[in-house]
Amino acid sequence: MHAIYAGHGRLTIVNIYDIRRYGTVAFLFASIVVVAVFLYFSNSLVKDLAAQERARMQIWAGATKQIVNAGNGAADGTDIDFLLSIIEANTSIPVMLTDDNGNIVLHRNFRLPAPADSSNPLEINEENARFLLEKLSDMRRTTNVIDIEIDSDITQHLYYEDSTLLRNLSLYPYVQLIVMAAFVMVVYFAVTSSKKAEQNKVWVGLSKETAHQLGTPISSLMAWIELMRDSDADPEMVEEMDKDVKRLSTIASRFSKIGSQPNMESTDLNEVVGRSVSYMSSRISSRIDLSVHLSPEALTVSMSAPLIEWVMENLIKNAVDAMEARGSITVTTFADHGMAVVLVKDTGKGMTRKMRKEVFRAGYTTKKRGWGLGLTLARRIVEQYHGGRIFVSESEPGAGTTFRIQLPLA
């Protein structure tokens, strides 16, 4: 019954993390949709405002034409004051009126670099004239131009720029996009950090509670072994039982170290790896060939040896589970660019690209029985406690898998 409940518990964990992952994807998708909607309406508003400004310029051009015609006596009864009020009403859109020869006839609403001469405000000084010519050159490269046909021989050209309001509003969607992206990123990282903190509390609590629960029966077993030694029990049997109890004590000690900074000592990684391989070689099927190739030079690393042994045993167990009771596992150590490297290569079933991304996620497992916590704890031990890296360096379905551990050399 316990295995069945454990299996159901494993499925519950997987579903919880699937729901969280789908929730994250849904949140990102909803954020993208909201941003897209805002951008659509902002761009529509900008286009509408641009159309309104062009309509105003059409009216402005018409008023200019009628004023010119009135000055030439071509339009009797024209309300000049009304037409001038239309001209004067434009206080926001920079406009420039030129003749066919490119001479500037009129300009309005430009921020000129030099103040006008107070004695003759209509005269354009050299600096302002140069500025207006440069502006005219830029405006000719746009589509914001209206041709005004005064008569059959005279045509003037009205160039205009977008108003300050329209320019600011054109930038607004991009500012809005940046703000929304920053908001989404902050929320995403906040949720992710909160999830990781929650996971850490769960794993730490689970590990320490496991160590605590193992403590009492281990102490009791040690006492029973001492009583058996004083009795007529088979010494060889007692010795084997003692080894198993010490092994349980080591496991409890490993669990107790999760969540607190372990005691780090400079140790040759070759010794730790060799010890782990030696321990596992007598506990796996004889049809699986477990070999080790240790670096000829010492790989001194600041580490907690019991925890690194736990990582190695976990990887070897996973490699054994990946093979159908037959195959080979090769463990290799060497130095590479200031890092001590351990490779654990098996000839098992291998993994797909998706599995490689998920394999270190808490709750993920391909076993019928299992909680999917081994590799999660292994990553925590290697990366958080030892400042190293652990990842799948090579794997293809049917071609086996290679795990790579990198630890900084002392």
What pLDDT does residue 81 have?
Answer: 64
Kind and range of the H or E element at 280? Answer: helix 269-281
Does residue 267 sit in the same domain as residue 410?
A: yes
Find out whether 148 and 61 touch, Cβ atoms under 8 Å.
yes
Last residue of a domain, one of 111, 139, 162: 162
Does residue 278 sit in the same domain as residue 402?
A: yes
Total residue count of the chain as it appears in this document: 410
Hey, what's the torsion of the CAs at 42, 46, 52, 58, to 10 degrees?
A: -170
Residues paired with 289 in a beta bridge: 328
Name residues whose C-beta falls within 8 Å of residue 21's C-beta, 6 or more positions apart in sequence.
Answer: none
On whether residue 129 sits in a domain, the answer given is: yes
Find out whether 75 and 95 touch, Cβ atoms under 8 Å.
no
On whether residue 330 sits in a domain, the answer given is: yes
Last residue of a domain, one of 136, 162, 188: 162
Does residue 138 sit in the same domain as residue 279?
A: no
On whether residue 199 sits in a domain, the answer given is: no
**Domains identified in the chain, total number:** 2
Residues paired with 401 in a beta bridge: 346, 395
**Sign of the alpha-carbon dihedral angle for 126, 132, 135, 136:** negative
Does residue 283 sit in the same domain as residue 158?
A: no
What pLDDT does residue 1 have?
Answer: 33
On whether residue 15 sits in a domain, the answer given is: no
The rounded radius of gyration (Å) of the Cα atoms in the chain is: 40
What pLDDT does residue 292 have?
Answer: 94
Does residue 268 sit in the same domain as residue 408?
A: yes
Does residue 280 sit in the same domain as residue 155?
A: no
On whether residue 368 sits in a domain, the answer given is: yes
Last residue of a domain, one of 122, 140, 162: 162
What pLDDT does residue 331 have?
Answer: 96
**Measured between alpha carbons, how far is 31 from 391 in angstroms, rounded to an integer?**
32
| C-alpha to C-alpha distances, 82 to 54, 148, 231, 393, nearest whole angstrom | 20, 19, 123, 80
Does residue 408 sit in the same domain as residue 267?
A: yes
The overall pTM is greater than 0.85: no
What pLDDT does residue 301 have?
Answer: 95
The conformation of residue 299, written as its DSSP 8-state character, comes to -
Give average pLDDT by consecutive 10-residue segment, the chain, 410 residues.
38 52 76 81 81 79 70 55 66 82 81 69 73 86 81 79 77 80 84 77 76 82 87 84 83 74 89 92 86 94 91 91 86 94 92 85 64 78 92 90 94
The amino acid at 358: E
Task: State both tokens at 166.
Answer: 């329209």
Which residue has tokens 């929320």?
Answer: 187
On whether residue 226 sits in a domain, the answer given is: no
On whether residue 365 sits in a domain, the answer given is: yes
**Measured between alpha carbons, how far is 252 from 78 in angstroms, rounded to an integer?**
102
Q: Report the half-sphere exposure of 101 (CA within 13 A, side-chain side).
A: 3
On whether residue 137 sits in a domain, the answer given is: yes
326 is in which domain, residue-wise?
Answer: 263-410
What pLDDT does residue 6 have?
Answer: 38
Q: 409: domain CATH number? A: 3.30.565.10
What pLDDT does residue 170 have?
Answer: 78
Which residue has tokens 């010492």?
Answer: 298
Does residue 139 sit in the same domain as residue 279?
A: no
Task: State both tokens at 90.
Answer: 């434009």
